[in-house]
Structure 1
Amino acid sequence: MARTEYYDDPNAPKPNALVVAASAVITDDRGRILLQRRRDNDLWALPGGGMEMGDSLPGTAVREVKEETGLDVEITGLVGTYTDPRHVIAYTDGEVRRQFNVCFRARVVGGTLAISEESTELRFVEPGELGELPMHHTQQLRLQHFLENRPAPYLG
């Protein structure tokens, strides 16, 4: 299923769902950031996804990272909350979601890096190379806030 992301676009379809989601910024011992190239839109993104009924938000991030990358992670902090109503995601099955994302900091504690059915590539990226990758504005914003090493999480 393909998806199209819209931001502040008057021609975007109207949302018909609100999805709570979690993502994680995971770094290696060299300070590189783990990104996945998404299969549904061919853009680079942080691992993450929708919360399930039995999940907590940190638990959602841990589960999604495991499903999408094969890595076990531990949550170490909070980057921020991302709830901008101008961000709309349309799927080919008719779902048009407004997403509420909580982005965490995390570190690897186990597992083996492995591509899932949701991605075509996984890679640890140097912070200076992030601008060279095709990525949606909302992902860039989370990474910017992470790299700023803010004393308090972004609330937006």
Structure 2
Amino acid sequence: MQMPVHIVAAGGFVENNQGEILLVKVRRDGDWVFPGGQVEVGENLIDGVIREVKEESGIDVIVSHLVGIFSNTATYEGHSGVKIVPTKVMFDFVCKPVGGELTTSDETSDSCWVSKEEVLDLVSAPALRTRYQAYLDYNGSINYMDYITRPEFELKLKRSV
């Protein structure tokens, strides 16, 4: 049996006191996204999301609570020498800003605060839209979803746990 390989990632829905959501624009494709990314070796999920938000946006955060766990079970050819991108498991957290200033990074070309109602006008990726809706619909139960993003987005499983 082959040992399973997964990418573990953490994302942050950062909401300020005005009810605005933090978005960053990815340099690679110009899409607006929520800050987050792969958890590094030896790093826990909470530290990972705090680091990713700071790196991508310049904002310091504290983590409030987990709202969703998502599996992207599609495998596909990667870029930058990656032959096959394995299954991804993503943990989305609600975060509160506690300092820092909006900035950009090697990965991001812009960062901004957007009203909750306008987020979906900017975020176009179906998987991210689905995860944002799970954040909006959060009722105290953790959302779990299994989806694929290629060849096109398909939600395979949705439930609360």
User: Aligning the two structures, in what range does the TM-score lie when normalised by the shorter sequence?
Assistant: 0.7 to 0.9
1:143 corresponding residue in structure 2:
132
1:18 to 2:11 alignment: no
Aligned residue in 2 for 1:153: 142
- RMSD of the TM alignment (CA)? 1.9
Counterpart for residue 32 of structure 2: 44
Shift in CA distance, 93/61, structure 1 to aligned 2, threshold 3 Å: same
Rounded to whole Å, the distance in 1 between the matches of 2:17 and 2:111 is 17
- The 8 Å contact of residues 32 and 124 in structure 1, kept in 2 or not, is answered as yes
1:34/1:85 CA distance change after superposition, 3 Å: same
Q: Secondary structure at the match of 1:129?
A: helix
Corresponding position: 1:110 with 2:96: no
Q: Is the 8 A contact 1:79 1:142 kept in 2?
A: no
Tell me whether 25-34 or 91-100 shows the greater mean CA deviation. Answer: 91-100
Query: What TM-score does the superposition give when structure 1 sets the normalisation length?
Result: 0.82
The number of aligned residues is 141
Structure 2 stretches lacking a partner, 5+ long: 146-161
Kept in 2: contact 1:81–1:102 (CA 8 A): yes
**What's 1:93 paired with?**
81
Partner SS for 2:54: helix
Unaligned runs of at least 5 residues, structure 1: 1-16
Deviation at residue 104 of structure 1 after TM alignment: 0.4
Answer 1 or 2: higher relative contact order, Cα 8 Å, separation at least 6: 1
Task: Give the conservation status (yes or no) of the 8 Å contact 1:24–1:106.
Answer: yes
**TM-aligned CA deviation for residue 96 of structure 1:** 3.3
1:119 counterpart residue number: 108
Superposed CA offset, 1:125-145 (max 9, x none): 112212221421111111111
Query: 1:78 matched to which residue of 2?
Result: 66
Identity %: 29
- Return the offset for 1:112: 1.5
**Higher mean Cα deviation, 110-119 or 81-90?**
81-90
